[in-house]
Amino acid sequence: MRELLANLGCDGACYAVDVTDARSLQNAAVDFIGRFGTPDLVIANAGISVGTSSGLPEDLSTFRKVMDTNVFGMAATFQPFIAPMRERGSGTLAGIASVAGFRGLPGAAAYSASKSAAITCLESMRAELHGSGVSVVTVCPGYVHTPMTEVNRYRMPFIMGADDAAWRIARAVARKRRLAVIPWQMALVSCVLRVLPGWLYDRVFARAPRKARSLLQ
């Protein structure tokens, strides 16, 4: 990344941190602000997607790791920048959630729960920061072609290339959308999922394909 910034002629900095380590994130944020000032935009994009089975005790550690990364990691990424942005009266916090956060997907309890929590957390932050000049953007992508999804052995409707997804996300963030579901086809799917009666959802999705399990340490 440092080489890329140098080749682009950009003045920037790179920090190798664990998003579940709030102290490391705080130190990186303090260093960044000291060198460049309060940023205009902070994006929380770190995430883990892995299948879990609710009945297996060995999957509990994986569940915790997913929640720590996808939820706590997002909150810890934003926290150091909120006060400086409020003091300046401007800035954007953008969190990458997922359409998987709208309903609980079988075999993905950890991932669905983490993204649902991310959506709700961002909504709370948006209400807290209302009128401060700081915008909070929630982005819920559908499937994106990355190494994370290459392991899926089932059809992924409306899957986007990584570059296409990045462009769509950037556009939603630039427009300061409160909630952006991309692509638009997945927005329609998410609307249907949210209004589907529980008894029908259970019956239909009980037979849905499931993401492969993987134990995380």
Active site residue 201: no
pLDDT in tens, 108-151: 899 999 999 999 999 999 999 999 999 999 999 988 888 877 77
List Cα–Cα distances, 85 to 15, 23, 46, 128, 136, in angstroms: 20, 19, 21, 13, 12
Phi, psi of 130, rounded to the nearest 5 degrees: -60, 130
pLDDT in tens, 48-57: 988 888 888 8
User: Which pLDDT band holds residue 69 (cuts at 50, 70, 90)?
Assistant: very high
What gap in Å lies between CA 169 and CA 94, rounded to an integer?
A: 10
Q: Is the peptide bond prior to 183 cis by the omega test (within 30 degrees of 0)? A: yes
Amino acid occupying residue 190: S
Amino acid occupying residue 76: A
Beta bridge partners of 44: 95
Give domain limits for the chain.
39-205
Half-sphere exposure at residue 195, Cβ-oriented, CA atoms within 13 angstroms: 5
Question: pTM here?
Answer: 0.88
Residue recorded with tokens 């990364």: 69
Q: Are strands 91-96 and 41-44 parallel, antiparallel or unpaired?
A: parallel
Superfamily of 39-205 according to CATH: NAD(P)-binding Rossmann-like Domain (3.40.50.720)
Name which residue leads in pLDDT, 7 or 165.
165
The single residue of 111, 143, 154, 201 carrying the catalytic annotation is: 111
Helix, strand or coil, per DSSP, at residue 137: strand
What gap in Å lies between CA 119 and CA 116, rounded to an integer?
A: 5
pLDDT in tens, 4-26: 555 556 678 899 999 999 999 99
Residue recorded with tokens 């999957």: 59
pLDDT of residue 2: 59
